[in-house]
Amino acid sequence: MRRREVRDPMAVQGGSVARRKLGIELRKLRLANGLTGEQVASRFDWSPSKVSRIERGQSPTTPRDCRDLLTFYGLTEQSQVDALVQLASVSRSQDWWHRYDDVVHKQFAHILGLEAAASAVLTFEPVVVPGLLQTARYAEGLVLANGPSDNEDHVRRRVEARMLRQQVLTGPEAPRVHAVIDEAVLRRRVGGADVMHEQLMHIAEASGRPNTTVQVLPFGSGAYMPVQGGFITLRFADAEDGDIVSVELLARTLYVDDPREVATYRDAWESVLSTAASPADSLDLIAAATEEMKP
C-alpha cells in the first residue's frame, strides 16, 4: 500500500471539516484497493448509502468503524492509522451551528461547517444580497418575509446565526470571497429604504477588503447561463478535495459534489463573470443605488 500523507486532524476546524477530510481519505484508500462502495458495505453488513455518506462527509464515523475500514484497506503505517482514527473522533464533534438546529436546516448547516475550511467562496445571487454580506437589519427583513409565522425568538435566532456565519470572513485563514449579484438585488427594497441604504453601504465597504470582490450584473447585460437561480461554490486549497456547490431551494439546500455536476456550475460561474461589470464599474452601480435609497 502506497503511503499517504494525512494532515494533523487537530488542525481541522469543526466536525464538518473533519468528516469531509476523513471521507476523502477513505474514498482514496477504497479506490486504491479496487473496491466498490457496495463491496465495502457487504463486508461490514452496512447499506451502500452509509458508505456513500461517510465518503461524502455527510455522516460522522466512529473511531472503531474507521479502524476496521483501515484494516480492511490494508493500511499498516501506524502513524497514518492513528491520524485517521483521531480524525474520526474529531468528526463527531459539533460545529457552532448546532446551537441553531431549530432555525438552520440540516443540509445548509453542513455547508456552513465547510466554509471555514474553504480557500474561496464564490457566490452568485440574482435575488437577494449574499448571506456573507448581509447586515443584521437586512437579514431580519428577509427572515420576516420568508417566515411570517415565526415567533420573535425564532426571528432573533435566525438573524443571530447569519451574523455568526460572517465570522468566517475574519482572521488570517479567512477565505477569498467573490460575489456576483444581479442589479435587481440593489433595487429590491428589503426592510425599507433606510435598511437598503445601510445594506448597500455595507456592500461597498466590504468590497474594500483585500479578500472580498463584488461584481454586479447590470440590467443591460442581457441573459446569462444560470437563469434558474443562485448558488455558492466552495473551493479548497488542496485541489484533490474538489469543489462543493450549494443551491438553496425553498425548503432545503441542494448539496452538489459530483464532479460532472460541479463542472456545470463551474461553467455557469464563468458565464456570470464574463457578463458582470468590472469591480470598479460595479461600485459605481452600487453607489447610484445607494443614493436612490437615501431615506
Tens digit of each residue's pLDDT (9 = 90 or more) over 121-135: 999 999 999 999 999
d(C-alpha 132, C-alpha 129), whole Å: 8
Contact criterion met (CB below 8 Å) for 14 and 113: yes
pLDDT of residue 138: 97
Do residues 128 and 261 share a domain?
yes
Do residues 226 and 277 share a domain?
yes
Do residues 153 and 44 share a domain?
no
Structural domain boundaries, residue 180: 96-292
Question: In this structure, is residue 1 part of a structural domain?
Answer: no
pLDDT of residue 149: 66
Do residues 42 and 150 share a domain?
no
pLDDT of residue 278: 97
Q: Into how many domains does the chain fold?
A: 2
| pLDDT of 226 above 60 | yes
Do residues 74 and 138 share a domain?
no
| pLDDT of 7 above 80 | no
pTM of structure: 0.78
Do residues 138 and 74 share a domain?
no
pLDDT of residue 13: 54
Do residues 72 and 210 share a domain?
no
Question: In this structure, is residue 128 part of a structural domain?
Answer: yes
Considering just the CA atoms, what is the radius of gyration of the chain in Å? Answer: 21
Residue scoring higher pLDDT (4 or 105):
105
Instruction: Report the alpha-carbon angle 98-100-102, nearest 5.
Output: 110
pLDDT (average), residues 51-57 = 89
Do residues 147 and 260 share a domain?
yes
Do residues 103 and 225 share a domain?
yes
**For the chain, what is the mean pLDDT?**
88
Report which of 191, 206, 122, 129 is spatially closest to residue 162, judged by C-alpha positions: 129
Per-residue pLDDT of 158-199, as tens digits, reads 999 999 899 888 877 889 999 999 999 999 999 999 999 999
Do residues 83 and 106 share a domain?
no
Do residues 174 and 121 share a domain?
yes
Q: Of 26, 60, 91, which closes a domain?
A: 91
